[in-house]
Structure 1
Amino acid sequence: MKTEEPTPSLGQTLEWLRKELAEMQVQDQRLLLTLRHLHSVLQELRTESAPWEDARSSGGTSPRRARAGSESRGRPPISSQGLAQLLQGTDSRRSSLP
């Protein structure tokens, strides 16, 4: 015996669409913040690696010594675990049909 679910009304379908769009907007905002953060991290890494790359290409100073100078600024290294935590909420999109 097969029972069919009642067809949702137009009002219910529109309400479901509004809810989904609102969830997508929240997710878009979260992704935008993540993207901005990643962009700033990349810019910082490029800035920090520029003197190291210059020293490496000039051959005057050993790359290890040049890199050690940029690492001793008191800033902790960027961890992949911190990045994973930042990205953790972005894949929580669920597909729920009305």
Structure 2
Amino acid sequence: MKTTGEPTPSLGQTLEWLRKELAEMQVQDQQLLLTLRHLHSVLAELQAQSVHWDDARSSRGASPIRARAGSEGKGCQPVSLRGLAQILRGEESRRSSLP
């Protein structure tokens, strides 16, 4: 809400503010897309590991511990739950900057 002492922004200033806001939103969209792609790949890997564990449990003579030990050296990166939590808490979220 505006007070009577504040000047009314011109149309040019308002359009410039809108351009700035749209540009910030596009950057956020790109960051969210990258995060979504990363989460998708992590979920796909976890699903593959789950299938691997289920196969190891159902096969005779192979214990799940040995099956896991065989897959650990294949370059699987641990999931950074701390980084994911920061993103989900909105530490990189856009703040409102209304004119």
Band the TM-score falls in, shorter-chain normalisation: 0.7 to 0.9
Q: Say what the alpha-carbon RMSD is for the aligned residues.
A: 2.6
**2 CA distance for matches of 1:19 and 1:74?**
41
Within 5 A, what are the aligned runs for 1:1-98?
A: 4-56=5-57, 58=58, 60=60, 61-83=62-84, 87=87, 91-98=92-99
Matched position secondary structure for 2:18? helix
| 1:51-98 Cα deviation digits (max 9, x unpaired) | 211222x1623322222222233544333245457x388633110111
**1 CA distance for matches of 2:56 and 2:22?**
51
| Aligned residue pair count | 95
Give the TM-score normalised by the residue count of structure 2: 0.74
Show structure 1 runs of 5+ residues with no match: none
Give the TM-score normalised by the residue count of structure 1: 0.74
Show structure 2 runs of 5+ residues with no match: none
